[in-house]
Amino acid sequence: MVKVGFIILFDQTHGTDSITWYSIWITSLVERGYVVENLTSGLITPEVLEGYDAFVIPQAHTDYASEELSAIQDFVAGGGGLLVIGDDCPWIYTSLTSFAGITWASGGYGGNTIDITPHPVTEGVSIACFSSPTSFMYVTFPAIDLMRDYSGYTMLAVSEVEFGKVIGIADEDSVADWSIGYVDNLRLANNMIDWLTVVEVDDVAVTDVAVSLNMVHQGWIVGINVAVANLGNATETFTVTLYYDSTVIAVQNVQNLEPNATLTLSFAWNTTCVPYCHNYTIKAVASAVPGETNTDNNTFIDGQVKVKIMGDVNGDGVVDGQDLQLVKRAIPSAPDDTNWNPQADINNDGVIDGLDYQRTKKGIGKMC
């Protein structure tokens, strides 16, 4: 995964670990397309954080002022990502992440762990090493714990708050140069930044509408397939409404369509009460999902379907001898026969026979 253009800011102003302790990780981030910068002086303000995609605090040892905490929380609320690497001073990390449901306490046990919850942050991570933690975390909604030591203490927690994301990881050793090469720690470290900088894209679309016939007799059931797609990166639930002109044919729900997934919906249009001698435009519309800004592709227009008088085989608006002759030529036939004419199957039963001839004959003289 390459994240070109995303900018990460490391705090170096609150007695934090030196950024040089994390050179292996930072080199990997840069190679993968990130820009990494560090803050070396001054208060943390909204202006300082502006333009960054994620803010990393590597084991701070000095308290943050209330206005700094407010700036960090506003940064997250505005869509930024916050990663707190904590160990020695749990009260400091609690002040940074408690708004997201993550609090810290002294404790934790070192060693490898396989007690890992599946999540984008833990994707591809089967073993993680926390060599010498001195703190752990408690989580409340909306936070969730993803990794635990052998006694069940939380070593890694994540939270989504408004438009942003927060991660807390105990034990700076796990991502510092001397331990990041163990087991799957480097993968974990990169996953954390990837997840924090994912920009959620909500985009559903109707990609095709296929009507079985573009000319039908009034009373026919017309099959219509509607293809939809999730073009974003979040699972989506929405509705699809099928219309002829401005009249609703039917509505179907699409539940939990995964990113990059497609689905074909089958509709049946009963034309019994649809006025004949008209061309109708068929269209499908997917409802906009929360956060969706591109709605141009939510509507797909297939074209037109003509609804004819029952018995008007050739579609000229009149039921007459020409239509009778067309039916007669198709008797007897089924769809695979060479003389099959779908428009001559007046009763739409899949066979052209005397019943179709009689129905056409009964309609002679009708016209638009």
Asked whether residue 138 falls in the same domain as residue 44, the answer is yes
Asked whether residue 247 falls in the same domain as residue 367, the answer is no
**Average pLDDT rounded to a whole number, residues 124-137:** 95
Please check the confidence at residue 166 and state whether its pLDDT lies above 60: yes
Question: Can you give the pLDDT at residue 5?
Answer: 63
Query: Are the C-beta atoms of residues 132 and 171 closer than 8 Å to each other?
Result: yes
User: Could you report the per-residue pLDDT of 248-283, keeping only the tens digit for each?
Assistant: 999 999 999 998 899 999 999 999 999 999 999 999
Q: What is the CATH number of the domain that holds 65?
A: 3.40.50.880
Asked whether residue 103 falls in the same domain as residue 179, the answer is yes
Residue 1 lies in a domain: no
Residue 251 lies in a domain: yes
Confidence of residue 158 (pLDDT cuts 50, 70, 90): very high
Residue 118 lies in a domain: yes
Question: Can you give the pLDDT at residue 324?
Answer: 85
Please check the confidence at residue 313 and state whether its pLDDT lies above 70: yes
Asked whether residue 218 falls in the same domain as residue 126, the answer is no
Could you give the CA distance from residue 264 to residue 70 in angstroms, rounded to a whole number? 47
Residue 228 — left, alpha, or beta (φ > 0 → left; ψ -120 to 50 → alpha)? beta
Give the alpha-carbon dihedral of 320, 279, 251, 343, to 10 degrees: 30
Asked whether residue 351 falls in the same domain as residue 364, the answer is yes
The count of domains in the chain is 3
Q: Which domain holds residue 58?
A: 7-197
**Cis amide leading into 342 (omega within 30):** no
Residue 2 lies in a domain: no
Asked whether residue 142 falls in the same domain as residue 247, the answer is no
Asked whether residue 22 falls in the same domain as residue 122, the answer is yes
Residue 66 lies in a domain: yes
**Average pLDDT rounded to a whole number, residues 172-181:** 94
Q: Can you point out the beta strands (E) in the chain?
A: 7-11, 35-39, 54-58, 81-86, 102-106, 111-113, 115-116, 128-130, 135-139, 144-148, 154-161, 164-170, 204-211, 215-217, 221-230, 236-244, 247-257, 262-270, 278-286, 299-308
Q: Mark which of 180, 197, 214 sits at the end of a domain.
A: 197
Could you give the CA distance from residue 320 to residue 363 in angstroms, rounded to a whole number? 8
Asked whether residue 116 falls in the same domain as residue 20, the answer is yes
Residue 267 lies in a domain: yes
Residue 276 lies in a domain: yes
Q: Mark which of 284, 308, 332 sits at the end of a domain.
A: 308
User: Could you report the per-residue pLDDT of 202-212, keeping only the tens digit for each?
Assistant: 899 999 999 98
Asked whether residue 249 falls in the same domain as residue 192, the answer is no
Q: Mark which of 258, 285, 308 sits at the end of a domain.
A: 308
Query: Between 135 and 330, where is the model more confident?
Result: 135
Question: Can you give the pLDDT at residue 1?
Answer: 44
Residue type, 18: S
- Name the residue with tokens 């997201």: 100
**Average pLDDT rounded to a whole number, residues 100-105:** 97
**Angle, helix 354-362 to helix 321-330, in steps of 10 degrees:** 180
Could you give the CA distance from residue 262 to residue 233 in angstroms, rounded to a whole number? 13
Asked whether residue 90 falls in the same domain as residue 185, the answer is yes
Q: What is the CATH number of the domain that holds 324?
A: 1.10.1330.10
pTM: 0.61
Asked whether residue 192 falls in the same domain as residue 204, the answer is no
Q: What is the CATH number of the domain that holds 235?
A: 2.60.40.10
Query: Are the C-beta atoms of residues 363 and 319 closer than 8 Å to each other?
Result: yes
pLDDT cut 70: percent of the chain above it: 98
Residue 174 lies in a domain: yes
Asked whether residue 321 falls in the same domain as residue 226, the answer is no
